Structure 1
Amino acid sequence: MTQKQINPDGEERYATLTNNAGAIRAICSAVEGTLGPKGLDTMLVGPQGEVIITNDGVTILEKMDVTHPAARLLIQVAHAQQEQVGDGTTTATVLAGALLNEGVAQVMKGVPAAKVVRGIEQAALLAAESLRRRSIPVEGLDDPLLHRTAFIAGREHADIARLVIEAAQVLGPDRLRDPGLVFADAVTSHEKAGNEVWPGLLLHKKPMNMQMEIDQEDARVLVLHDALEPDPVDEEALSTELGFRQYMENKELFRANLKKLAELGIKFIAADRGVHQEAEQFFTDLGIMVLQRVSKADLQLICEHTGARPLKRIGLHKTKDDLSRYLGLALKVSYDEKISRIRVIGGSNIPMVTIIVGASTHEVVGERARIAKDAASAVQAALRGGYLPGGGAVEIAVARELERYRETVKDMEAFGVEAVIQALRKPLAQIVVNAGFNPLEKVEQAKAAQLAQDTDRIGIDCDTGKLMDCLEQGIVDPALVKIHALKAASEVAGAILRIHTVIKMKSMPEL
């Protein structure tokens, strides 16, 4: 037997890079089959036999059992894509995998990794700027291509697209462009509900006093960032006469405060902590709806919608005139027993909307909710940044533009530019593969047709395999989704290409 000779300039020096690239390829293979109108679903099976069937990229990546550090880095990029624009995680993942594959190929040829990364960074910036220039502004909520954006991002579920557009019309374009609003958060789901757009809030809570009349009209609203109970007295003090007297005084003051709230005409109270049983009974007798242990996020929504200002318990000692300034107003507050939710409508402050998505089973309704969130995110992104030809067509045009730029690059960064050029062709190629056609043939056909017509709109019809004008066929994607996906993909590819060695850290001592 002969001893294996290790060439330090050979494959061993790239062991870390090829290992990381292999992990990224494994992750990408799990999601790239879902891309495009002919993409299929992935079944995720949990340790207890629970099943999720989805083609939502971020859901697949979140639920996968992943331990490889490079793969986890890619998943973090998908999370960033989801948080920033709420859609396009599959595109970001596919682009990252393609960029890394092309970058690794260049490094294995002997091109310094730093040069490849620098070229990728330069080309990604130019490509993002090209996408911005090409974006087409949305002409309003009645723009037909905005409806198509919802339809495509909603995976061609026409009923979900209609819900999203109807909800968008309730809020209006200015509200949807507000950086503080996440339109996807308006989506909720329930297997007992039908599809509905509710022009208000839907709170996942039950009232404490279920036995009372559960509809409240012209309701004044009180929000407490505290418990609704008497001021506490130390347990040690209760054993003394003075402490017991203080306890009784606190109870009397508490009862006086309850009467004061009733005199103010309050009909709906939401607290983030517990509610004393005496207060519960008191408000039940008067027909005042009370919620306890409401999340901070829901309390914030109640305040924004009704105009209420949150109070601490000590604030209940204020005069009625002072307290009235903290109250909000809603046209109606009711409890929907069928779906176990509180409905709040007609708030006097910021308009709100809830998109209710229903289905027959828990598993199906969960997937439909994910689809609706993607559609809502896409509509909001299109309103903020316009839209582009979809189906991978515009990426082909940007790749052509980068080819001309590559000819002007004299240094080895040109190899990094070439990696971006090849990666930009990957979305169309993968969409074509998922539709059952030859990617090499179809990508070249689209490229030649775009060049001949000087356009970025020519793509491939996944039903026939023929060329088509994507804008004429209503195949569009939000520009912000594509721009952020490219940015995220270039960042993760650059980070992994720079890794020379992976070292396990020692365990941190427990405190």
Structure 2
Amino acid sequence: MNNRIFYNNEARMMLVNGMEILNKALAVTIGPRGRNVVLANRNKPTQIINDGITIAKEIYVKNSISNMGISLIRQASSKTNEIAGDGTTTSTILAYAIVKEGIRSIESGMNPVIIKQGIEKSSRFLNDQLIECANPLKSLNDIYNIAYISSGSSHELAQLIKEAIKIVGKEGIVNLEEGNSSKDELIVANGFSFDKGFVSSYFLTDQDSNKIIQNNPYILLVNDKIKAGNNDLLNLLSNISKTKRSVILIARDIEPEMVSTLIINNNKNIINVTAVKAPGFGNEIQLLLEDIATLVGANIVGENEGITLKNISISNLGQADKVIVNKNNTVIIKTHQLKSVIERCNNIKKQIKISDSLYEKELLQFRLQRLTGGVATIKVGAVTETEMRDKKLRLEDSINATKAAILEGMVPGGGHTLLYLSNILMQWAIENLIGDEREGAFIFARALKLPAKQIIKNTGSNESLILQKISNMEFGYGFNSASCTFCNIYETGIVDPMKVTRSALQNASSIAKIVLSTECIVAE
């Protein structure tokens, strides 16, 4: 089969056609008055949702080149979702707007490579300006406001997240589960979390999910490097599989060949194991493994401990009520706290008091926080499966947005921060850039107005008139799209996580500048 080849603006416009399809589908969902989208897939139940990334994953068209455009812009939204957990629709609107504006400039004779350089410089400038705009979260009310906006203006869902954070703290873990009734429930249990996830995505059995959930698993802790061809480990795992229970393997290191062996045996249903690297670095690994061992009631396998994979028995393994593992994190939930955990916590507190090293104190406080930290689980209630899916997606967005805001602070929401940055960028470009580079900055600046414009458009109001009025207001004042009134943005609680806005800007500009510098497409 001969390949088709397209050049210059024809190539770019064919990509834009696909990007426009995705942008139209997602744009209607943004803001407090955004609409829903129905997803009909013959392999899945019909869904009615307004979650940007879920919608983006379902959109494909017959034209292969338009699909390329959809795939490219989907990358921007997926990366934003991966980093910040929200802001996917904003990144899609921005990426499409930059490309659309950029193509007009290229058609008028400007150099796409120089325009790309202008967009890159603008992205760096905007990142610095965004940091200056951010304010830290000061109260539970700020957490409520973030959750309220991200959940699609749901008071009940925002209140649930506020209560969960209040109980487990800002560093605590909040998880979601499908409940068995129509009411939402909040359950808190003891838990230990660390920032290491599964060593390979091939341990995922459900490809529609990005996490592994194991109920009532055994915990195997190994303070050594597990080498390829370790039959002692395979024999142990095979014996455990006879109990019909899964295993979470937490090891200092695992050779890639051994990881492959575990995955193959998993796929053959010989064993049921999820491999995770131990948390910490250097000497920290030993201490953190001991903390986990205390929590789950396990013996550690290792030369120093005198226990090997050859002589270990099932009684040496730990147990947990539930373990949740994703790409970057592992959460071990243990409902009933062992007496040894209290004793270990008291011992760590004594070490904190007598330690003279600031670094050592910080590590001890970190360990104490992990051992005493709680894990909140929201059991989502709904009458129908469609309602359940919609509520879970809204809650996921809210939890991710709240965590992002705790990390990097919050900025005025509703697209108002982007409107402010648009004006700042215009002025900066006039003073610091020339020629086609300046045009690249102007393209970015014009695109920054589109999210706010779309949010206002979804209310049924005259977006041009309202944007004109906002331009005459001080930063921090703007339009409340929920009530269609002008207000003080912070006082009204219209806020977004800075991390979400930053990720949307960076990922949108990254994809857009690549599309604008495209001169040729080769397709079947």
TM-score, L = length of structure 2 = 0.68
Partner of 1:137: 136
Aligned-partner Cα distance in 2 for 1:52–1:300: 39
Structure 1: distance between partners of 2:190 and 2:183: 16
Kindly state the Cα deviation for residue 462 of structure 1 after the two structures are TM-superposed.
2.2
C-alpha contact (below 8 Å) 1:150/1:378 kept by paired residues: yes
**Does the 8 Å CA contact 1:195/1:358 hold for their aligned counterparts?**
yes
Figure out how many residues of one structure are paired with residues of the other and give that number.
Answer: 403
Name the counterpart of 1:317. 311
User: Which residue of 378, 395, 402 corresponds with 1:355?
Assistant: 378
1:16 matched to which residue of 2? 11
2:516 counterpart of 1:492: no
Q: CA, structure 1 residues 53+501, in 2 after alignment: closer, same or farther (shift >3 Å)? A: same
Alignment partner, residue 435 of structure 1: 459
In 1: Cα distance, 2:277 partner to 2:294 partner:
10
Residue 72 of structure 1, CA deviation: 0.5
SS at match of 2:388: helix
**Shift in Å at residue 504 of structure 1?**
2.9
2:498 alignment counterpart:
479
| Equivalent residues of 1:223, 1:269 under 8 A apart | no
Contact 2:456 2:463 in 1 (8 A): yes
Counterpart contact for 2:117–2:440, Cα < 8 Å: yes
Could you tell me which residue of structure 1 aligns to residue 79 of structure 2? 80
Identity of aligned residues (%): 21
> Structure 1: where are the runs of 5+ without partners?
1-10, 177-182, 208-220, 234-246, 259-267, 274-291, 334-341, 451-455, 506-511
User: Which of the numbers 219, 223, 235 marks the counterpart of 2:219?
Assistant: 223
State the match for 1:162 in structure 2: 159
Question: How many angstroms does 1:363 deviate by?
Answer: 1.8
Tell whether the 8 Å contact from 1:222 to 1:310 is kept in structure 2 after alignment. no
Residue in structure 1 matched with residue 468 of structure 2 by the alignment: 444
Query: Which residue of 437, 447, 464 corresponds with 1:413?
Result: 437
Give the corresponding residue for 2:146: 149
1:305-359 CA-to-partner distances (Å, cap 9, x unmatched) read 9345587896473499xx76x646x7x89xxxxxxxx984144435323222111
1:424 aligns with 2:427: no
User: Does structure 1 retain, via aligned residues, the 8 Å contact 2:17–2:69?
Assistant: no
Aligned residue identity for 2:219: V
The alignment status of 1:63 with 2:58, answered yes or no, reads yes
Alpha-carbon distance in structure 2 between the residues aligned to 1:459 and 1:15: 40
Shift of 1:165: 2.0
One-letter amino acid matched to 2:102: G
Q: Which moved more, 1:307-316 or 1:362-371?
A: 307-316
Distance across 2 between alignment mates of 1:473 and 1:65:
39
Going from structure 1 to structure 2, the CA distance change for 1:133 and 1:299 (only over 3 Å counts) comes to closer
Q: Which secondary structure state, in structure 1, belongs to the residue aligned with residue 426 of structure 2?
A: helix
Q: Distance in 2 between matches of 1:48 and 1:22?
A: 27
The Cα RMSD (Å) is 3.8
User: What SS class does the counterpart of residue 107 from structure 1 fall into?
Assistant: helix
Q: Which residue pairs with 1:25 in the alignment?
A: 20
1:82–1:88 CA contact under 8 A, matched in 2: yes
Amino acid at match of 1:353: A
Structure 1 distance, partners of 2:313, 2:177, is: 39
The CA deviation at 1:167 is 2.1
Shift in alpha-carbon separation, 1:319–1:37, aligned structure 2, 3 A:
closer
Paired residue secondary structure (2:109): coil
The letter for the 2-side match of 1:167 is A
Residues 314 and 304 (structure 1 numbering): CA distance in 2 closer, same or farther, change over 3 Å? closer
Q: Which residue of 2 aligns with 1:461?
A: 480
After TM superposition, the score normalised by the length of structure 1 is 0.70
Distance 1:464 1:162 in 2: 20
Alpha-carbon distance, 1:435 to partner: 0.5
Q: In the alignment, is the contact (CA less than 8 A) between 2:12 and 2:515 conserved in 1?
A: yes
Identify if the C-alpha distance between structure 1 residues 495 and 346 changes in structure 2 by more than 3 Å, giving closer, same or farther: farther
